[in-house]
Amino acid sequence: MYEENTVGFLEKISKPQDLRALSSSQMKELAQEIRDFLVEHVSATGGHLGPNLGVVELTLGIHRVFDSPRDSVIFDTGHQSYVHKLVTGRQNFDTLRQKGGLSGYPERAESEHDIVESSHASSSLSWADGISRAHQLNGESDRYTIAVIGDGALTGGMAWEAVNNIAADKDRRVVIVVNDNGRSYAPTVGGFANHMAELQLELQKRLDEVRLDRRYDRALDSGKNILQNSGHVGKAVYRGLHGMKAGIKDMVVPNGLFEDLGMKYVGPIDGHDQEAVEKALKAAKKFAGPVIVHAITEKGRGYAPARADEDDQFHAVGKIDPQTGKPLGASSGQSWTGIFAQEIKEIADERPDIVGVTGAMMIPVGLKPMQQAHPNRVIDVGIAEQHAIAMSAGLAFGGQHPVVALYATFLNRGFDQLLMDVALHKAGVTIVLDRSGVTGPDGASHHGMWDLSLLQFIPGLHLAAPRDAATLREELREAVAVNDAPTVVRYPKGTVGEDIPAIERWEDGADLLACTGEADAQTGQRDVLLVAVGAMAPLALGVAEKLAEAGVTSTVVDPRWVMPVPGSVVKAAQNHRIVVVLEDGIRAGGVGSRIRQEMRSAGVDTALNEIGLPAEFIKHASREQIFEETGLTVEKITADTLAQLSGEMVPYAREKGEAPKNAH
């Protein structure tokens, strides 16, 4: 294992250019140092371990052959950028993915070597297309753009849209490094994955035919001038030999798919052979045009616990024992994902029309138990959320009820299909959004905080936000019972708390959770109506207790289904001095805004305060730290609610730049 006090090659690397001074044997030692460093540090903080262990030689090779930042290096999804960080001057991994520490993804504020911060897959090649076009337009045609993309990300259609455009221009210097480890999160699926596997098998079978290929090369080279200058017959013979050479070459290196697209192809190569990697990259550089470099790698390379993990090879880990790979301090209790996994499997047992759909995340979203019980009724489409949702509209048309399980942040990618393919056609499709709201250490592009606003204006859509395990099970069953409209069930990351029983269920399904103090004897009015969206229920109950201590009466209600807004919530608002809506999505256009509109339509003029997340990209930190920073705490909400009741302004509940509001 890596030792903090050992002065090795890694500590002497402060910029990519420093790598060029190392010999071949020293590079091998450096690669081992880096793997030891990653295991030691990522096991202490958590993070993406397996992917980074698999790209050590690739990353080192890229930085030895190309000249970052003049040459742009892009990492698809970015979770495989830890080695890149280490050789670009960022070796303090003690607070990786923690507040104030290094991001788990590229981040421009950290380094000039970082370009793409988004951690959504399959977009790197579009960036490469745009950057290389800009270089060309700027008259900088000698600059290279290098994109490192996994075979899993190549299951995303957006990547092929970019390839189609990159291949059309032979003069732009784009190098696409395919990190082919046979996996995205789990094993890669689909036709392209099968093709990549065939390339590897074919390579092994045809290596001995390279000599034959060289023989034709020599024949062509020696006889080229004679044949081409010998009239029509000689030219025909030359063309025939050239055609035979091309056919043999396709047997030796079966690269037809890529060359048919108009791109040079180098590989497959052993992505852990430093010399082979650099030789391939140098060859790609010499082409001075669009090139595919196909590297075969192992996820979790060099770390036995990761290699032994058949599920995800330590794609992402929490704190673990670096020697054994066993998790440390595992949380007690069930996760939201685990509850969904149990319930959807039971529903599928009961209903043969239930079909699970996932985008390369069978295990993370909880569809594995259903897949094991009903293998023909769970579909993994790869990293292709647009396709997943549009395809589900077709499944619904055919009489099935698809349940599409996604991370909430990835719903953004399939929004058009949800609107135009599912909702427009009133398709009975259920979308389950895992990791909604604040997710914590993965940062801005992984927070699932946009869905409550994105979904508000989709006609006919029903949106549920369960507060605990019992309501998750209940609302999931209610969702799959709807066959003439899209339904969405969303819940956060982490462990489910204790069930929160309702005092009363109103006739339209909203749950009354608490009612503190007595209503005004003359008006029958209470002070505060707290509307808790899903997992914000414990926070709302905590605020109610604090308000009661201050002599303020309150009512806590969980709408359960926040779209459409239950009429009982609007009616209850009429009997309170103010309404406070607590949600873990952005305030702009969120549930609070929707309730305000419904109140206005009903002629209810009670003041309403939306409490949620700001419409900003929130950096990585723990969920608790982010709630503290954004005012989502019992103390802050209580203080500002009391201030509002007394007629003072509530500054934290406004978006930046919005005019102040006074309570009524």
* Active-site amino acid positions: 299, 385, 413
Q: Tell me: is residue 390 an annotated ligand-binding position.
A: no
Q: Which residues contact 382 (CB under 8 A, 6 or more apart)?
A: 152, 155, 156, 184, 188, 189, 190, 193, 359, 360
Q: Tell me: is residue 303 an annotated ligand-binding position.
A: yes
Q: Tell me: is residue 624 an annotated ligand-binding position.
A: no
Q: Which helix (H) or strand (E) holds 35?
A: helix 24-45
Give the residue carrying structure tokens 């295991």: 39
Cβ neighbourhood burial of 530 (10 Å; 0-12, 13-18, 19+): buried
Question: What's the token pair of residue 380?
Answer: 């993994």
Question: What's the token pair of residue 49?
Answer: 């371990």
Which amino acid, one-letter code, is at 549? E
Which amino acid, one-letter code, is at 608? L
In terms of DSSP bridges, do strands 174-180 and 145-150 run parallel, antiparallel, or are they unpaired? parallel
Cβ neighbourhood burial of 324 (10 Å; 0-12, 13-18, 19+): exposed
In 3D space, the residue among 409, 401, 469 whose CA is nearest the CA of residue 440 turns out to be: 409
CB 574 within 8 A of CB 606: yes
**Buried b / exposed e along 435-447 (16+ C-beta atoms within 10 A):** bbbbbbbbbbbbb
Residues in the chain: 664
Distance CA(86)–CA(69), nearest Å, equals: 15
Nearest 5°: CA angle at 417, between 342 and 156?
80
On the CB side of 13, CA atoms within 13 Å amount to 27
Please provide the DSSP assignment of 530-561 as one string: EEE-GGGHHHHHHHHHHHHHTT--EEEEE-SE
Distance CA(634)–CA(626), nearest Å, equals: 14
CA torsion, ordered 281, 282, 286, 288, to nearest 10 deg: 30
Q: Tell me: is residue 576 an annotated ligand-binding position.
A: no
CB 557 within 8 A of CB 572: yes
Q: Tell me: is residue 521 an annotated ligand-binding position.
A: no
What is the DSSP secondary structure assignment for residue 304, as one 8-state letter? Answer: H
Distance CA(119)–CA(96), nearest Å, equals: 16
Q: Tell me: is residue 639 an annotated ligand-binding position.
A: no
Q: Tell me: is residue 662 an annotated ligand-binding position.
A: no
Distance CA(411)–CA(487), nearest Å, equals: 13
Q: Tell me: is residue 119 an annotated ligand-binding position.
A: yes
Q: Tell me: is residue 385 an annotated ligand-binding position.
A: yes
CA 255 → CA 122, 154, 196, distances in Å? 21, 16, 10
- Tell me the CA end-to-end span of the chain in Å, nearest whole number: 64
Cis peptide upstream of residue 268 (ω within 30 degrees of 0): yes
Q: Tell me: is residue 353 an annotated ligand-binding position.
A: no
Annotated binding site for thiamine diphosphate: 79, 119-121, 152-153, 181, 303, 385
Annotated binding site for Mg(2+): 151, 181
